[in-house]
């Protein structure tokens, strides 16, 4: 049978091909949409409330028109590394409120008919796969994935305290107690990711969110993440500005 990752990739590709499937938006209809937290080249993040339970969530809405089926998107080169998009285009889907996006500079993608900001179905499927494996108090939770006629929607835990990056910008140097506590929490989050066979590959202050009281942090944005087998040597270098 197909592997889990192959089935997820097939599901994302099927969702991209579908534009009018009846009932595709039913699950999203269960949410009352709120304000927009941030936007990027391929995604918008909005607040929402689940009508039946009153639970507030964050919806990461990835436009299907910006997600290319695996066979058409930026293809890996001979070394297995995807050809990076041109300057200013996110190689991953931004989750943070600033919508800054991850950017990798390099040559344009090989397929002239593909938008330079396109994200492959493989990348979206990998993000979903990696997040689905993680359950930790300091890693943002993925509750559900909804396919609508126009979007792939990741229903995530909402974290309302803003970015660590913005906190440092606004308040300057961290108090030692806060720095120690948040760093310990971040290390615990990364240890959990690695124990689950997930490497984040884009840890930075913009991808660390604070809760509303500033007591706890959450690691977010798994757009560049990758699943790995323990003992496997990693050859790709991934980071963002």
- CA–CA gap between residue 88 and residue 82 (Å, rounded): 17
The residue with tokens 């609508």 is: 148
Active site residues: 202
């Amino acid at each position: 049978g197909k592997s889990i990752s192959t089935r997820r990739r097939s599901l994302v590709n099927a969702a991209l091909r579908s534009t009018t499937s009846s009932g595709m938006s039913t699950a999203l209809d269960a949410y009352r949409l709120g304000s927009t937290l941030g936007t990027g080249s391929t995604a918008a993040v909005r607040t929402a409330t689940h009508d039946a339970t009153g639970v507030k969530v964050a919806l990461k809405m990835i436009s299907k028109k910006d997600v290319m089926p695996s066979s058409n998107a930026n293809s890996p080169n001979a070394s297995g590394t995807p050809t990076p998009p041109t300057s200013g285009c996110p190689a991953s889907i931004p989750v943070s409120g600033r919508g800054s996006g991850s950017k990798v500079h390099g040559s344009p993608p090989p397929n002239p008919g593909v938008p330079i900001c396109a994200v492959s179905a493989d990348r979206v499927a990998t993000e979903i796969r990696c997040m689905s494996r993680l359950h930790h108090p300091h890693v943002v939770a993925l509750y559900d994935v909804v396919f609508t006629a126009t979007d792939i929607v990741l229903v995530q835990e909402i974290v309302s305290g803003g970015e660590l990056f913005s906190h440092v910008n606004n308040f300057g140097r961290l108090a030692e107690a806060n720095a120690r506590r948040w760093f310990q929490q971040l290390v615990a989050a990364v240890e959990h990711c690695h124990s689950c066979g997930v490497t984040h590959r884009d840890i930075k202050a913009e991808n660390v969110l604070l809760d509303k009281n500033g007591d706890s942090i959450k690691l977010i944005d798994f757009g560049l993440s990758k699943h790995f087998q323990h003992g496997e040597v990693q050859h790709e270098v991934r980071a963002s500005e």
